[in-house]
Amino acid sequence: MEKKNEKKNLKQEGKETKEGKKTEGQVNSPEEGQGGRSEDAAGKEKPETEETPETETPETEIPETEPVPEENEEESRIKELEDRLAKEKDDYLRLMAEFDNFRRRTSQEKLELVSSAAADTIKGLLPVLDDFERALKALQDSEDSAAAKEGTELIYNKLLGYLKTKGLAVIESLGKDFDTDLHEAVAQFPVEEKDKKGKVYDVVQTGYTLNGKVIRFAKVVVAI
């Protein structure tokens, strides 16, 4: 009987141990299941955590884009300075050109003033030359001494030679074609020769040019 009782006890203990193992297995299984689910959840969340940097990339790139406005401001500042420099250079060139024109204009005015003053002086001496010409004609027709004629002619040539060095020139008119740019007709004289018609027959008053410009027209008689 005791052996039977021991066998029964051993069987019950075996059953209890089996049931205990089963219960432990059942208790652990939910934890293992939960652990599996957590790992599965973690596994599923891992891609979400990997995707979050992609969605947050604009936020992470903000510090990189912050210096961009500073660079743009520097570029705009440099462009503004370049524009101001170009404007200052243009203004300087314009000022230099205006000053150069002013200097040339002033020099030209001075030359014109000097030439006009010289022209006025020479114009005042033209009547003296006319008197010398009349005196020479009168001495040629008179019976005075040759010394008076030579003296008068010498003074006339000397004065005329000096005025020629200043640009004075005599307008040669006798026998030339009548030119309204050089001559002033005071009378007409009929002639028979056809080749003399339209030409200067006689010179009443000598004309002069100064540096190529007429300062006095020659008063002439035109043959018709």
More confident residue, 185 or 51: 185
C-alpha 139/C-alpha 146 separation (Å) is 9
| Cβ-Cβ contacts under 8 Å for 159 (sequence gap 6 or more) | 125, 128, 129, 132
Q: Residue 185's pLDDT band (boundaries 50, 70, 90)? A: very high
Does the structure show a pLDDT above 60 at 47?
A: no
Q: Residue 207's pLDDT band (boundaries 50, 70, 90)? A: very high
Lookup: tokens for 201? 């027959």
- State which fold the 167-224 domain adopts: Nucleotide Exchange Factor Grpe; Chain A, domain 2 (2.30.22)
pLDDT tens-digit readout, 79-118 = 888 888 888 888 899 999 998 898 888 888 887 777 777 7
pLDDT tens-digit readout, 19-46 = 554 444 444 444 444 444 444 444 444 4
- Provide the residue ranges of all domains of the chain, joining segments of one domain with +: 167-224
